[in-house]
Amino acid sequence: MDIKQIEALSSVISSSVAQLKQLQSSLKTTEHTAATTKAEFLKPSLEVVAAASQLIALVRTPERYLMDMSTAHQLSASLRVVVETHVVEILRDKGKGLKKALSAEEIGAYNHVNHLKLARVLRLLATHHVFDEVTPNVFANNAISNALDTGKSLAELEASPDEKYDGSNGIAALVGIFSDETFHNAVCTADILKDPQTTNSFSPYDAPFALAWPGTRNIAMYDWLNLPENNYRKKRFGMGMHGMNSMTPSDAILRGFDWSSLPPGSIVVDCGGGVGSVSLPIVQTCPQIHLIVQDTAPVVAEGPTFWQANQPQALAQGRVTFQGHNFFEPQPAENKNISVFLLRMIMHNWPDAECIKILKNVRNSCTRDTRIVIVDNIMLFASRSQEIAGQETGTSDPDALAPEPLLANWGVANSLSYKQDLNMLSNHNACERTVPEFASLLSQANFRIVEVHQAHQSWLPQVVAVPI
Ligand SMILES: C[S@@+](CC[C@H](N)C(=O)[O-])C[C@H]1O[C@@H](n2cnc3c(N)ncnc32)[C@H](O)[C@@H]1O
């Protein structure tokens, strides 16, 4: 056992915990979420998570460690059970006593899940700190399970199951996507990677998704989500994107490119913008900007409802408009003199060839003054060195790296980025990218990078490029 390394990691934990204690003393509440969402808690929290997980890898036997990892799918599967059978809402509305607890049998009477099986699902989750098992077979929500609450009453959930995620924070929807569609797809990753026919293919039709569902051999996942029979999944996907955004500061899009520098009358096109929820803060804070939300027709059709609920004035004044558009086609002819094309979480959905097609279509309607703003994960290598011989450096910002003895990419504290990278592989045969990979993509569509805004593991970084 590497005792020196273990001691170094435990001293990172002790000093970060001391910082958290000091910060906590300035807060009036001990509530878990109140603290962890505050910006100043971010670095010490990251350090504790990174160091503690690195420590576990050192002190656990390798065999135990591998068993824990290879059985982790049961966590996803169990989360899907509780999200789809409304356990959190049942405990919230029907729970008894101070802790609002119910036995598995009582929960099962509401959601019709066999209580003996449900208790085992809930116990695995409670063992991983999601729910409390307050007495044998009796469970209550805790801070972590509460984040899965859709906010809907049981009557609403039963009356319109397709709408169940609407109006919520989107976390249950995101967990639903990860533990259902993405989980199914990931099961087939090894089959696609081992098959000589598909291993070297970067076609979106050769994603593990193609093997995971009946009839998905020749359809990309987004087109499949838009099929009428997948309406429930499409809605859940839209709310899941909202969930992803709800985990970052609401003004994250403003922390990078300077939107306020755009002159009056500037037009911003949010390509693949969903309903436009991400660009809402741009419209709210920059009255000089007109926003066009572009996405496939079925998705953008939901846009006016979102804006009516969140910024009705912009809708009434025509400051936000909607375009059903396929970004593999040339930009609509009326899109002239566009100041900025925003592409948030778009590049990571597509293999290089498709990204270049999307970028070229954008490039063809750029003027000399147009900017493109790409918002996506920027990947770091796990090694301390971020250089590949003969290539430009992977990160221009040394502050993006974790201090030693932590893994340079923040290890498990940053694992969602790496899981998302593989989610992109299993869903779309796509990937998250490093700065040099973005530079290469962009140059093939005649753009060059002028700004990189790192986000230090807290919101999505931005890459700003201009036409060459
Ligand atoms: C990962 S989501 C990102 C949504 C939004 N930009 C955000 O950051 O929350 C990708 C978006 O691309 C859209 N999309 C997929 N294929 C498209 C296409 N061919 N043309 C236009 N939009 C497309 C999807 O409907 C979806 O809204």
Cα 216 from Cα 228, distance rounded (Å): 15
Q: Is the distance from CB of 307 to CB of 276 less than 8 angstroms?
A: yes
409 — pLDDT class (breaks 50, 70, 90)? very high
121 — pLDDT class (breaks 50, 70, 90)? very high
pLDDT over 80 (residue 257): yes
The region of weakest confidence among 24-28, 37-41, 100-104, 142-146 is 37-41
346, 420, 431, best to mutate for ligand 1 pocket (most atoms within 8 Å of CB): 346
- Protein residue with least CA distance to atom 9, ligand 1: 241
256 — pLDDT class (breaks 50, 70, 90)? very high
Amino acid 341: pLDDT: 98
Cα 463 from Cα 343, distance rounded (Å): 10
Strand order in the sheet with 132-135: 102-103, 138-140, 132-135
Architecture of domain 252-383+437-467: 3-Layer(aba) Sandwich (3.40)
Better-scored residue on pLDDT, 353 or 36: 353
Distances (CA, A) of 464 to 125, 257, 283, 450, 454: 41, 7, 19, 6, 11
Q: Select 83-159's CATH number: 3.40.50.300, 1.10.10.10, 3.30.70.20, 3.80.10.10.
A: 1.10.10.10
Q: Measured from the CA of 244, which atom of ligand 1 is nearest? A: 9
pLDDT over 60 (residue 133): yes
Amino acid 40: pLDDT: 79
pLDDT tens track for 150-184: 999 999 988 887 777 776 778 999 999 999 999 99
Amino acid 393: pLDDT: 55
Q: Is the dihedral of CA 432, 436, 441, 442 positive or negative?
A: positive
How far does residue 295's CA lie from ligand 1's centre (Å)? 6
Pick from 182, 83, 173, 179: nearest CA to 131? 83
- Protein residue with least CA distance to atom 12, ligand 1: 272
Q: Over range 64-73, report the average pLDDT.
A: 98
Cα 243 from Cα 175, distance rounded (Å): 9
Q: What pairing do the DSSP bridges indicate for beta strands 102-103 and 371-375?
A: unpaired
Amino acid 163: pLDDT: 78
* Residue 131: count of CB within 10 angstroms of its CB: 26
Amino acid 396: pLDDT: 55
Better-scored residue on pLDDT, 457 or 433: 433
ipTM attached to this prediction: 0.99
27 — pLDDT class (breaks 50, 70, 90)? confident
Pocket of ligand 1, beta carbon within 6 A: 222, 241, 245, 272-274, 278, 295-296, 299, 326-328, 344-346, 349
How far does residue 275's CA lie from ligand 1's centre (Å)? 9
- Protein residue with least CA distance to atom 18, ligand 1: 326
Q: Is the distance from CB of 221 to CB of 424 less than 8 angstroms?
A: no
How far does residue 343's CA lie from ligand 1's centre (Å)? 9
Q: Is the distance from CB of 257 to CB of 453 less than 8 angstroms?
A: yes
pLDDT tens track for 316-368: 999 999 999 999 999 999 998 999 999 999 999 999 999 999 999 999 999 99
pLDDT over 90 percentage in the chain = 79
Cα 419 from Cα 20, distance rounded (Å): 27
Cα 52 from Cα 46, distance rounded (Å): 10
How far does residue 233's CA lie from ligand 1's centre (Å)? 14
Q: Measured from the CA of 299, which atom of ligand 1 is nearest? A: 25
Amino acid 386: pLDDT: 85
Cα 377 from chain centroid?
A: 10
411: left (phi over 0), alpha (psi -120 to 50) or beta: left
- What does the CA dihedral 405, 408, 413, 414 come to, rounded to 10 degrees? 180
How far does residue 344's CA lie from ligand 1's centre (Å)? 8
How far does residue 26's CA lie from ligand 1's centre (Å)? 41
pLDDT over 70 (residue 456): yes
Distances (CA, A) of 354 to 133, 149, 285: 48, 37, 33
Q: Over range 96-121, report the average pLDDT.
A: 98
181, 231, 241, 291, best to mutate for ligand 1 pocket (most atoms within 8 Å of CB): 241
34 — pLDDT class (breaks 50, 70, 90)? very low
272: left (phi over 0), alpha (psi -120 to 50) or beta: left
Q: Measured from the CA of 277, which atom of ligand 1 is nearest? A: 9
pLDDT over 60 (residue 110): yes
pLDDT tens track for 361-396: 999 999 999 999 999 999 999 999 888 876 655 555
- Protein residue with least CA distance to atom 6, ligand 1: 273
Better-scored residue on pLDDT, 332 or 460: 332
Amino acid 31: pLDDT: 61
Active site residues: 348
36 — pLDDT class (breaks 50, 70, 90)? low
Q: Measured from the CA of 348, which atom of ligand 1 is nearest? A: 1
pLDDT tens track for 284-308: 999 999 999 999 998 899 899 999 9
Cα 134 from Cα 242, distance rounded (Å): 32
Domain ranges for the chain, please list them: 3-70, 83-159, 171-246, 252-383+437-467
Average pLDDT, the chain: 92
